[in-house]
Amino acid sequence: MVRGFVGVGGTHGAWILDPCAAASPAISDNSLVPHSTRAAAVRLVAFFVAGMRLATLAQMAPTLLAAMPALSRADHPWLTGATWILATVMLVVIAAVAVVTRRPPGVALAVVDVAVAVALLVVGLWTVPVELRTGSWVGFQLGYALCVSCSLSAIRSRWLWMFLLVSLALAEAVYIAPTVDGLADLTGALSTWLTLLILGPLAWFGCRTIVRIGTEADEARRYAAAAAKAEEERRARLAIHNGTAMMRLLVETDAADGNGALRSQAEVELNRMRAYLSGHTPAPANEATNLAAVATALGAEFDDLPITVVADLAQDITLPRALADDLAAALRSLLLNVRQHAQATRVVLHAAEDEDGSGWEVTLHDDGIGFDTSTTAYGVGLREVVVTQLARSGVDVEISSIPDLGTTVTLTQTTASVQVP
């Protein structure tokens, strides 16, 4: 059994089930964990079974008390007493097992239960007078059989369940057949017989449906927990990636004293990491910002690079604050890559609205050493901070690079790619 509490800070936490348990439709196995909907559904079914047993026992009890004094005058007193005792014991035992284990009786117990019910019906041919077999709890066998037929929800095999139900039905038919003497008796017997054939399947199907709903709820919860975990990890990578790159630059270049731009960037990343650790993600403001302003600000941050910002055609593009922040983080990550790896002598950051006004495009080009995109795996920054994060805002990312010629990253957002909330 594998259990765990996933998520950070409890905000996305959820108990999860053993995947093997979830895959199994059995409702009486030992794979349940406390805080699952499936476990609750199985408990409900167990209480239903126990309730049925106790209700049957309660209905048998007055008749039993009245019948005991007259037992010595019956045709088969010992046999009659034994059937009453056996039925009472079975009812109590099954109810107790269901309450204690909080599961309906397992397959073996269910088979024994049905066998006892069939035996009681057959023995009832000798112990119960014909006129008392229906409409009286002296002939408790019919009520007992109905109760048993409603307790088979633990049986997964459809064929076994049908066999047991048919066994009960046949035994019941044999038990009530002698009561039929004319059409009026036939309809009464038939309705009694059909009650078992209808309520039994209804209980079986209903109980299994409840448990299946519980199972699916657990699967949905597990999926949500996994998605929350993945989201949390993504947020962590997003918050930390650029910061670690900044720290590496500060350490490797020994530029902490003199490079103001580097220090400013480090401060931005520090604030981002602190916001993540404190759990207080800044609420996205409704203020929009300008694509040209974002590009220009990023260019200023990296003025130690031979960078040219061309953003005249992006003046009319306003961006939601959240997208502007994501875009800035993505460009910062790309420019950190350029600074660390490209060995470029010229970097151009170009931003422009599409000619037909249907969107915008940002291009970052460097004439550095480039790389083979078919053999080089993207790092965390490129994969998470750029591609994945921008894809959430409907921004497509295309990376083309030619060894020894340079690299071009194109970020594109068209009206069609923006999801309207």
Which among 27-35, 105-113, 253-261, 304-312 is the span making contact with other proteins, rule CB under 8 A? 304-312
From 3, 274, 346, 392, residue interacting with other proteins (rule: CB under 8 A): 346
Does the footprint of other proteins cover residue 347 (CB under 8 A)? yes
Tokens of 149: 């037929």
- Sequence-distant (6+) residues with CB within 8 A of 1 are 18, 21, 31, 33
> What is the number of other CB atoms lying within 10 angstroms of the CB of residue 312?
10
Burial of residue 418 (number of CB atoms within 10 Å: 0-12, 13-18, 19+): middle
Does the footprint of other proteins cover residue 411 (CB under 8 A)? no
Q: How far is the CB of 353 from other proteins (least distance, A)?
A: 9
Q: How far is the CB of 316 from other proteins (least distance, A)?
A: 10
Q: Are 411 and 395 in contact (CB under 8 A)?
A: yes
Does the footprint of other proteins cover residue 406 (CB under 8 A)? yes
Tokens of 34: 């406390």
Q: How far is the CB of 362 from other proteins (least distance, A)?
A: 10
Q: How far is the CB of 394 from other proteins (least distance, A)?
A: 22
Sign of CA dihedral 211, 217, 223, 228: negative
CA 300 to chain centroid: 47
d(CA 404, CA 385): 25
| CA dist 409 → 177, 263, 388, 402, 412 (Å) | 85, 26, 14, 12, 10
Which among 22-30, 37-45, 63-71, 306-314 is the span making contact with other proteins, rule CB under 8 A? 306-314
Which among 22-30, 135-143, 384-392, 397-405 is the span making contact with other proteins, rule CB under 8 A? 397-405
Which among 137-145, 165-173, 208-216, 349-357 is the span making contact with other proteins, rule CB under 8 A? 349-357
Cα torsion 196, 197, 201, 203 to 10°: value is -20
Which among 60-68, 158-166, 211-219, 312-320 is the span making contact with other proteins, rule CB under 8 A? 312-320
Does the footprint of other proteins cover residue 296 (CB under 8 A)? no
Can you tell me whether residue 367 is helix, strand or coil?
Answer: coil
From 13, 106, 188, 306, residue interacting with other proteins (rule: CB under 8 A): 306
Judged by beta carbon, residue 22 or residue 310, the one nearer other proteins is 310
d(CA 80, CA 126): 9
Q: Please list every residue from 84 through 113 that binds other proteins, using CB under 8 A.
A: none
Judged by beta carbon, residue 2 or residue 300, the one nearer other proteins is 300
Judged by beta carbon, residue 271 or residue 308, the one nearer other proteins is 308
Judged by beta carbon, residue 208 or residue 350, the one nearer other proteins is 350
- Sequence-distant (6+) residues with CB within 8 A of 76 are 126, 127
Q: How far is the CB of 368 from other proteins (least distance, A)?
A: 11
d(CA 45, CA 146): 16
Does the footprint of other proteins cover residue 310 (CB under 8 A)? yes
d(CA 160, CA 152): 10
Which among 59-67, 130-138, 152-160, 358-366 is the span making contact with other proteins, rule CB under 8 A? 358-366
Binding mask 117-146 for other proteins (x = CB under 8 A): ------------------------------
- Binding residue count for other proteins, defined by CB under 8 A: 24
Which among 52-60, 122-130, 199-207, 405-413 is the span making contact with other proteins, rule CB under 8 A? 405-413
Q: How far is the CB of 295 from other proteins (least distance, A)?
A: 11
* φ, ψ dihedrals at 394, nearest 5°: 80, 20
Does the footprint of other proteins cover residue 214 (CB under 8 A)? no
Helices 141-149 & 107-127 angle (0-180, nearest 10)? 160
> What is the number of other CB atoms lying within 10 angstroms of the CB of residue 198?
12
Binding mask 362-391 for other proteins (x = CB under 8 A): -x-xxx------------------------
Tell me the DSSP string of 66-128. HHGGGGGGSSSHHHHHHHHHHHHHHHHHHHHHHHHHSS---HHHHHHHHHHHHHHHHHHHHHS
Q: How many CA atoms lie within 13 A of 197 on its CB side?
A: 13
Does the footprint of other proteins cover residue 64 (CB under 8 A)? no
Does the footprint of other proteins cover residue 271 (CB under 8 A)? no
Radius of gyration of the chain (CA): 37
Does the footprint of other proteins cover residue 300 (CB under 8 A)? no
Q: Please list every residue from 315 through 334 that binds other proteins, using CB under 8 A.
A: 315
Residues that bind other proteins (CB under 8 A): 306, 308-313, 315, 345-348, 350, 352, 355, 363, 365-367, 400, 402, 405-406, 408
